[in-house]
Structure 1
Amino acid sequence: MARLRIAACQIDTHVGDLDGNVERVLDAYRAATEAGADLAAFPELALTGYPPDDLLLKPGFVTANLEALHEVAAATGDCVAVIGFVDLDRDLHNAAAVCAGGEVRGVYRKCELPNYAVFDELRYFGRGRQPETLYSVRGVPVGVSICEDAWSPTGPIADQADSGAEVVININASPYAEGKPARRERMLATRAADASAALVYVNQVGAQDELVFDGGSMAFDADGTLLARSPQMVEDLLVVDIDIGPVYRKRLLDPRGRPVDEQLPVLEVSSTPVTGGDPPAHADGPIAHIAPVMAPDDEVWEALVLGTRGYVEKNGFSDVVIGLSGGIDSSIVAVLAVDAIGPDRVHTVAMPSRYSSDHSLSDAEKLAANLGVDHRTIPIEPAHAAMLEMLAPSFAGLDPDLTEENVQSRIRGQVLMALSNKMGWLVLSTGNKSEAAVGYATLYGDTVGGYALIRDVLKTRVFALGRRRNERAGHDLIPDAVLTKPPSAELRPDQRDDETLPPYEELDPILHAYIELDHTASEIIAAGHDAEVVRRVTLLVDRAEYKRRQSPPGPRVTGKAFGKDRRLPITNGFRG
């Protein structure tokens, strides 16, 4: 039985950093070669980073990407490299180059272009025709496909298998969403078994603006059995030996019948063929490693950490600053930031007002001490009093209301932005998805910042993540009082969130249905939720769209996040 050694190069690319991406690819290629790989596969659009978006409208960028490809190809030897890049032939194509012996030996163009959720590939790319060739790697016919091509049961992988592909390489930039890794694995196992071909899936890892790429590269045999899996959220070189046995018998017995289409030609890109009579290649090969799957709360936490680290590092920020109120949201953001970039680069600021409770200040100080971060206190009362005095003539005869509360939040925003401007620190905003959904946030106040870490995390999940992080720490890293006291903005005496909003245990399921599942208000009511509450909540969500358009981006961890994933009109008369 022949054996092919394949390296899935799970690397973190940087959109637009062509020189850096070339270096990352070549470093991984050298490591794969040293591991004895016959073929090294890299993520989708590895040379440009994913997604390049409107950089693709710049001809100079496309040309530079082609130059980067030839630089990488020139460095290849006997180990075949499959590398994602942007191809140009009258139209642009999301493509994979098959390189060996110092040159590009073939190009595959993506056929299935996603144009849903966060994907806009039809905006930029033309569809590739169905696969035009297979590639012979040490005598083994290999098919190449790209990301979405694998999700279609009748797509390119089926065509390649019909023409005799024994192995299919699928390169990806597949963004993370909670629950998606398990769905991917089930789909890929099915695709391998249906094709009766081994399948090697390599995914990007890292973060790009709102998107988090979780890695989790995998290899399956021709029966769909998982052979190896990379860990999530970290770079990895997954080296796996694929046994190549004759599968024609299984294909002959397939109830779907023999393929009748014209067979694809096979292009030899790597010589020294391995035949069934030869001893197994790489007899001392690596033991296939199947990385464990993370628990759901741990997976979301690490995705948030990865998203934060990627945004901070790739945008060149040295440090971050957080307004630390002593509440659960800002506490979670502070811990995430420390996990992402370390305590020496995290600064927290308590900004008490006349309504701040003593326990809020002490909880913030205790958390900062537990984390070992720089913490300072800047009271906002002088600015608050001055603002009220300045506005008093215009507000004469009017009762205090939300206006005076928002003044405090905007002062805090000004303090954080002043520190950011003076020190060069990135402000991390602390609003969660529940608050962003219903507009329970002050525009130009607690919405200020460059990155919103928990923007896609509902409030009930924020509490769950905090409890789980303490479990992992083995002690109350986040003070217990922070996890147990009633949420409050503390902008008026004895204020509590549940005086203004439904309890989060009631609110969050409605938000999940309305935002992430796209149910109408009528459908949510029909599912058993209180009609008056549903109508009020969905109206608040619709009316807050203008605020979200002006808020900072944050990592996407659910099936539908605010931002490029959810594009509803601000001016909207539909109430459902």
Structure 2
Amino acid sequence: MRFDNLYSHDFARLAVGLPLCRVADPAFNAEQTIALLKQAAAGGAAVVAFPELGLSAYSCDDLFHQRALLDGCEAALASVLAATQALPLVAIVGMPLRVEQRLFNCAVVLLRGRILGVVPKTYLPNYGEFYEARQFCSGEEATVATVTLLGQQVPFGSRQIFTAEDLPLLRLHVEICEDVWTPIPPSSFAALAGATVLVNLSASNVVIGKAGYRRQLVSQQSARCLAAYVYSSAGAGESTTDLAWDGQALISENGELLVESERFQRRSQLVTADVDLERLARERMRQTSFGQSVRLHAAQISAFRDVAFKLGLDCDQPLALRRHVERFPYVPADHSRRDERCQEVYNIQVQGLTQRLASSGINKLVVGISGGLDSTHALLVAARTMDALGLPRTNIIGVTMPGFATGERTRQQALRLMATVGCEAREIDIRPSCVQMLQDIGHPHSDAQPVYDVTFENVQAGERTSHLFRLANLTGGLVLGTGDLSELALGWCTYGVGDHMSHYNVNASVPKTLIQHLVRWVAETHQLGAGTDTQVLLDILDTEISPELVPGSLQSTEATVGPYALQDFNLFYTLRHGYTPTKIAFLGRHAWSEVYALAEIKRVLRIFVQRFFKGSQFKRSCVPNAPKVGSGGSLSPRGDWRAPSDSEAVVWLADVDRIPDERA
């Protein structure tokens, strides 16, 4: 199995075919269906679905009771079945089918010349423009569990799940049109029975507002069922005697619309989307209410039959992912959605801090200001909090504490920022107290023979924290933490100091890449007030991220722990989805190939795995209170993440070793 084959990472390419049709011309409809079927197979699809009653056309009305048409549909099915003989994908076509002197509206599931099963429609609309009960019987009225079709004995019924033995997470259930419009669709029970891909063969005429409703319906059903939902509908060629047809095809994954066809097209169409089956399976495992629902509906679930098949996938050939993967999963790429996200995060942080101050009876904050990103954003949140409480911003005591390696740029940025915000600004030179501490503990550092080790660095960090807490004691304030989610994930924080401990931290579930956008958003939207000089915020954004603890040269944080852009990407897919390093690298190369080579992605991922899974959990086990801001996760032991402090990283590092350095 190749690293660069999407099926190797539990993705499945799903397709919807919308063939140009002719009413009551099964041979023509079969020809159009076969053309799209071959196109889907050539494109690497595992499943392709076609419209309801597609071999006959939906709008045949009483022609459905004509033997010539029904015979023609079976002949058309034979043609389609023959075309599937050499194709490694499941095809699902719609047709009318006679069973025991009754007529059923059916979906027929085909693979490599074999009919896997026939699924009859359960709910027949008989209102408004629909008169299906005039021609068809509900699948619930069937008295047989198997039928003979084209010489094959095949399962018949609505409660079937088709499972791919060579892609075990691909488990298909099929329902037809009205079935999903009901209070409890058959697909809901199918999902509880294990189906991950729910397919709907629909016709669905178009009226004003219906397209938007379909999008909501499909997305919501995929979200409720923690599944992919594939929806096809009739298009060009259906009778317009009284109705019109727009040919809307949709594929949604867990509430997210992945692809939609072009509506009102006078041509055949094929749309595809790559669905992440592992994501669906993991969401079901993570959301315990899904398992509870399985137990509550055990009786309905037990009625489902499992139909096994083999796709015959070739995972030894490259097959690139056709799916947009955000480079910054914590930050929406769309500008308007990004602004909305920033506003929401900002409000959550402010609400959390406002409540903490109100409940504690404390009306002052003490914040260490370094002139860097994290403390900047914490101060911005503090300022808005004071505004919300009707308190002056001078109730915030901002303190910049230059040490042995503090640059003049960051020192001036800290002073300018405090002036811009309008808080009380103080400056404390920590060097004398650091020298005393180094002497007290017997550290060999001296001006004549400097020793710039970890102790030298941490003494400075510790002195800053000590000053903040004692100043809070003196002034009756609350120390506001500044450390962010990315630093907690990488263990890039000194135990017990300001980027780790505080009375309350507003940044603990906000990753570095999002903080950058939050600060920029505050500047661009003038959140500090009209006429405020926000250039200092832009200057801070342009400053190299550094702890500034060792004199003589700039300490680049990203040179040590890797680019935060990649590390936040790694964090999201580890924390939110629990993916293996190989899958994260596969996604990372897809998203970042224009910037980083696979070898670099692998190198940075190794750093992440080593730091995240071994050696840093003890720091996360005692973090201060902080509001969770997003579904991307929190590392609080009281929230999203509970892990042992003495675990090993062996299995994750072994998986990193499976990642090739180049394309292979």
Name the TM-score, length of structure 2 as normaliser: 0.42
Greater radius of gyration (CA)? 2
Q: TM-score, normalised by structure 1?
A: 0.48
